[in-house]
A = this chain, B = another copy of it.
Amino acid sequence: MYQQVARVRHDGGMSRQPKYRQVADALRREIDNGTHPPGARLPSESELSERFEASRNTVRSGLGLLVSQGLVTSSQGLGYEVAKHEVFELNASRFENLNFEQNGDAYSTDVTNAGRRPHQTFRVEILPAPAAVAERLKAEPESRTVLRFCHRFVDDTPWSTQATYYPSWLIDEAPRLAEPGDIEEGTTRYLADRGIEQVGYFDEISTRMPTPDEARLLEVGAGVPVLLWMRTGYSAERPIRCTITTLRGDLNRMNYEIGDQSARGEGAPR
Contact = CB atoms under 8 A, between A and B. Distances in A.
Interface size on A, as a range, is 35 or more
Interface in A151-166: none
Interface of A: 25, 28, 64-65, 68-70, 87, 92-93, 135-136, 138, 198-210, 212, 222-223, 225-227, 232, 234-239, 249-250, 252-265, 268-269
Contacts of A256: 92-93, 202-203, 205, 256, 258
- Which 10 pairs from chain A and chain B are nearest by CB? A200-B259, A225-B225, A200-B260, A207-B207, A199-B260, A207-B249, A234-B263, A69-B209, A203-B256, A206-B253
B261 A205 contact: no
A225 B138 CA distance: 31
Nearest to A68: B68
Given A136-B268, A255-B203, A265-B138, A223 B260 contact: no
25 contacts: A64-B64, A68-B222, A69-B210, A93-B258, A198-B259, A200-B263, A200-B264, A202-B255, A202-B257, A202-B269, A203-B258, A204-B253, A204-B255, A205-B255, A206-B252, A207-B225, A208-B225, A232-B264, A232-B268, A236-B262, A236-B263, A239-B263, A239-B264, A256-B256, A256-B258
